[in-house]
Structure 1
Amino acid sequence: MRFHRNLVFATLDSLKLIFNEQKQADKVLKQTLKRDKRWGARDRGFIAETTYDIVRWQRLYAKAADVKGPYSREDLFRLFAVWAVHKGHTLPNWPQFEGTPVRRIRGKFDELKSQRVYRESIPDWLDAMGLEQLGGKWEKEIHALNEQAEVVLRANTLKTNKTKLKDALEDAEIHTKSSKVCPDALILEERTNVFSLPIFKEGWFEVQDISSQQVAPLLDVKPGMRVVDACAGAGGKTLHLAALMENKGQIIATDIYDFKLAECKRRAKRAGAHNVETRFIDSPKVIKKLYGTADRVLIDAPCSGLGVLRRNPDSKWKLSPQFMEEIQELQADILARYSRMVKDGGKLVYATCSILPAENGLQVEKFLASEAGAAFKKEEERTLWPSETGYDGFYMCLLTKSN
């Protein structure tokens, strides 16, 4: 591979913002890729994939490079050199790479592979927590979560169907395959930027992982129902619910972040989802007004995001034991309060994009044993393991409320 200075420098600039200033990787790359209009798809692909790869394997590469954060410009060049050696690339004849000990770096990688915290590039505390909660299963899962995620689309049945979408993508020379699990899913055979396609702007599809596409159907919504997506965020599952309800009935999308609801509203307009109403939770009254009014409630709870590390590898460096404790307390509080929105005879789905029992099944068991959960019964529970599915890690549980 021939390295171009402007692409390498753009990669290092991105890494500096992600590592030293704790910026979100996806937002940093979105800005970086706008820097030069002359960059083609291959150039942008190099910057994005190299940046994500170094972020994903930061601990391993930093140890092999013998550098520690916050990283100087020289440190970042050393990280890049280690990445290049590990990938089998020949380093360019630039002053920044003079004297790079290629053989020593290769030997260091062989030495580090014996320790899981380096082999899978994770913090010590996270490795200990994963091992404590999942035992021998942790090894397989964290390994699977370090693999690059596939790009999956969900055909928006309010505007098209999977067959028409597949044909339109073929016309754009984008090849896809179907999923046996999700009826409206198409999986890209090669990564490409689908957001620039006219059919995306016309609302024909959303990008949504196979695991995520299994949450809304579990809620068993019907046209005409009143449904609350209680932690709607930017509305990925809200839009799926709207399609399943054929635009009939009412979906109330709530969240504590107004900017996320603004994005949800924008996406709903593009998707032609006219039965979506957003409500900003600026006080407890917003939730209280909905008590006992919903046929269905989806609680896609805030979580560690461990199940989606392949998409957000930078998050493992931002998590902490304290955050894990706080998020579990928040999950329990949300489940206790938001479950009160379910009508007698209605249904609730509690979901997370985590694989840890403390955020998932154990939360549900505590809820069912509490006063708030006394009226509910567990109907179905699923944990989607990345090592088994090849997709994101997810948990979902369907609860019904007695009449």
Structure 2
Amino acid sequence: MEKEANAREESLKMLIKIFNEGSYSNILMKNLGQKFTPLNRAFMTELIYGTVKWKLRIDYIISRLSSIKVDKIARPILNILRMGIYQIDFMDKVPNPAAVDECVKLSKKYGNAGSVKFVNAILRNYIRNHDSLVFPDKTKDRAKYLSVFYSYPEWIVKRLICELGDEFTEAFLRSSNDVPPLTIRINRLKTGKQRLIESLTGKGIEVREGKYVDDAINLKNVPGIGNLDEFKKGFLTVQDESSMLAVKVLDPKENEFIMDVCAAPGTKTTYIAELMNNKGKIYSADLKGNKLSLIEENAKRLGIGIIETHTKDAAEYDLKYEKKADRVLIDAPCSGFGIMRKKPEIRWNRENDDIDSIKNVQMSIIKTCSKYVKQGGILVYSTCTVLREENIELINLFLKENRDFKLISICDVLPENLMKESCKDGYIELYPNIDDIDGFFIAKLQRVD
């Protein structure tokens, strides 16, 4: 029980960092190392990700039960309450009395006698009145209801409703709260698919083939991906199928010169190299030079030697690469609304005003990097968001101003079970509620002059 208590306290510390310091949950969890057992790590993962994901709904519940306004509650105590309500609502394996008792113990350490009484009263009151809680009226204010019930900022809900409609938005929000599978990519430079599957299943890991990409495998019951010999030997890489599909659409060939201009941490760069059979040259750049080591480390682990890393702002033009690249991949910085299943704090770290500045950056990058594509060459633009103003609307605006490019069909590089009407027009929109993978946008353009 002592280790479980430590796990709860460490979870509290992480939540404070996430909500008050803007830290990312996936990075904090990755840095835990071997401090906790696999069982406790699994407990912490669910507790942290779940509390972050459901923060707005949980805060609404607290506001209905507390005489003190949520923003006036001391941060440690507020986060203890959030953890408690999440456990009561979503963690069936944790008995309600145990959830309350552990939160009370934490409040003794991080508050005072009044805090202890407050936490105990709120949580026990919620258990008693759980079924009588009233959410905003769905018929009077649908955006407000969806915001609270599914735990997303109201401005995001309104944007999505405007673009996607009421019913689709609700399905998208619901799906974006699901826990996605752990998806890996086979490194065919080092191993074969069947060999890797047999090796993983031999360790008690549940294996299921990907939905769309032959190199993709979904895993369950993984004790820690970084600790697997298969990972250390470079047989696999963690990557969602949406991300793999962007590289499939790029369709790299052996001995080509390819540029990946927003590359860190290098997941797509290394997949490009694998599909090129490690033959050719890849220019892999990122604005944040400290992230280049991630690309280099991944390439070394995977046995790849054709990648050259560069610290470079993709929006700044470099004359020496003008019309030199066979293919250019722009995995553009974006709002990230397609990957909220994996990074739930995205919804809290974005502001409505961010979208316009993001679009300006995206347009600057595509205008600059399109100049690197040789005649007849390919430009692939992708994002991990579902906002059309960052996606097809931006592409159409670019094409209106750049007549030397055109969208070309991607039907030949996508699997039959993913074929959509837009594929023949050169782009695809992916949604977790429809396609059961991360929300993504991929467009394929060709220089025609």
Give the 3-state SS of the residue equivalent to 2:360 in structure 1.
helix
1:236 aligns with 2:242: no
Which residue number corresponds to residue 156 of structure 2?
A: 126
Which of 307-316 and 85-94 deviates more? 85-94
Superposition pairs of residues 357-368 of structure 1, within 5 angstroms: 357-368=388-399
- Number of the residue aligned with 2:412: none
8 Å CA contact retained: 1:64, 1:108: no
Cα pair distance change 1:77/1:180, threshold 3 Å: closer
Q: Which residue of 2 aligns with 1:91?
A: 97
1:72 positional shift:
2.3
Describe the SS at the equivalent of 1:232: coil
Residue number among 360, 385, 388 corresponding to 2:434 in the alignment: 388
**2:406 equivalent in structure 1:** 377
**Structure 1 residues 5 and 52: alpha-carbon distance in aligned structure 2, compared to 1, 3 A threshold:** same
Residue identity in the other structure for 1:24 = Y
CA distance 1:3–1:143, change in 2 (3 Å): farther
**Paired residues for 1:131-210 under 5 Å:** 131-136=161-166, 137-210=168-241
Change (3 A) 1:167 1:346: same
What is the TM-score with the length of structure 2 in the denominator?
0.84
State the distance in 2 between where 1:68 and 1:102 align. 15
Confirm or deny: 8 A CA contact 2:135 2:148 kept in the other structure. Answer: no
Distance 2:327 2:6 in 1: 52
Which residue type is aligned with residue 310 of structure 1? R
What displacement does 1:287 show?
2.9
Contact 1:381–1:396 at 8 Å: present in 2 too? yes
Match of 1:58 among 46, 55, 60: 55
Going from structure 1 to structure 2, the CA distance change for 1:383 and 1:283 (only over 3 Å counts) comes to closer
Residue 5 of structure 1 and its aligned partner are, at CA, apart by 2.0
Aligned to 1:74: 77
Cα 1:284–1:107 shift into 2, 3 Å: closer
Equivalent residue runs for 1:4-403 within 5 Å:
4-31=4-31, 33-34=32-33, 37=35, 39-66=36-63, 68-69=70-71, 71-87=74-90, 88=92, 89-92=95-98, 93=101, 95=104, 96=116, 97-99=119-121, 100-103=124-127, 106-107=130-131, 109-111=133-135, 114=138, 115-136=145-166, 137-281=168-312, 287-370=318-401, 373-379=402-408, 380-403=426-449
Change (3 A) 1:113 1:27: farther
Q: Which amino acid aligns with 2:362?
A: Q
Q: Match for 1:328: what amino acid?
A: K
Choose 45-54 or 80-89, whichever is displaced more. Answer: 80-89
**How far apart are the structure 2 equivalents of 1:178 and 1:209?**
12
* Counterpart code for 1:161: G
Matched residue SS, 1:313:
coil
Decide whether aligned partners of structure 1 residues 125 and 375 sit closer, same or farther in structure 2, where only a CA change above 3 A counts.
Answer: same
Range 87-96 or range 250-259, more displaced? 87-96
Say if 2:384 and 2:439, in contact at 8 Å, map to a contact too.
yes
**Residue deviations 1:28-71 (CA, integer Å, cap 9, x gap):** 2234x34x73x311111101110100000000011112263585
CA distance in 2, matches of 1:202, 1:388: 35
Per mean C-alpha deviation after superposition, the further-off stretch among 100-109 and 334-343 is 100-109
Could you say what secondary structure the match of 2:22 adopts? coil
Provide structure 2 residue ranges, at least 5 long, that are not aligned to the other structure: 64-68, 105-115, 139-144, 409-425
Q: CA deviation at 1:282?
A: 6.0
Does the 8 Å CA contact 1:150/1:191 hold for their aligned counterparts? no
Q: Count how many residue pairs are aligned between Structure 1 and Structure 2.
A: 398
Cα deviation, residue 102, structure 1: 2.8
Describe the superposition over 1:246-287 as per-residue Cα deviations: whole angstroms up to 9, x where unpaired. 011111101111012221011111111111111111697763
Q: Gaps (5+ residues) in structure 1?
A: none
Q: Following TM superposition, by how much is the alpha carbon of 1:186 offset from its aligned partner in structure 2, in angstroms?
A: 0.7
Change (3 A) 1:282 1:297: closer
Cα RMSD over matched residues?
A: 2.1
The question of whether the paired residues in 1 share the 8 Å contact of 2:317 and 2:368 is answered with no
TM-score (norm 1): 0.93
Between 114-123 and 22-31, the greater mean CA deviation after superposition: 22-31
Q: Provide closer, same or farther for how the CA distance between residues 157 and 287 of structure 1 changes in structure 2, counting only shifts above 3 A.
A: farther
- Partner amino acid for 2:12? L
Percent of residue pairs bearing the same amino acid type: 29
* Worse-superposed segment, 161-170 or 324-333: 161-170
User: 8 Å contact 2:317–2:369 — kept in the other structure?
Assistant: no
Corresponding residue SS for 1:211 = helix
1:81 touches 1:91 (CA, 8 Å); kept in 2?
no
Offset of 1:109 from its aligned partner? 4.5
Post-superposition offset of 1:224: 0.6
CA distance in 2, matches of 1:228, 1:111: 50
8 A contact 1:355–1:383 mirrored in 2: yes
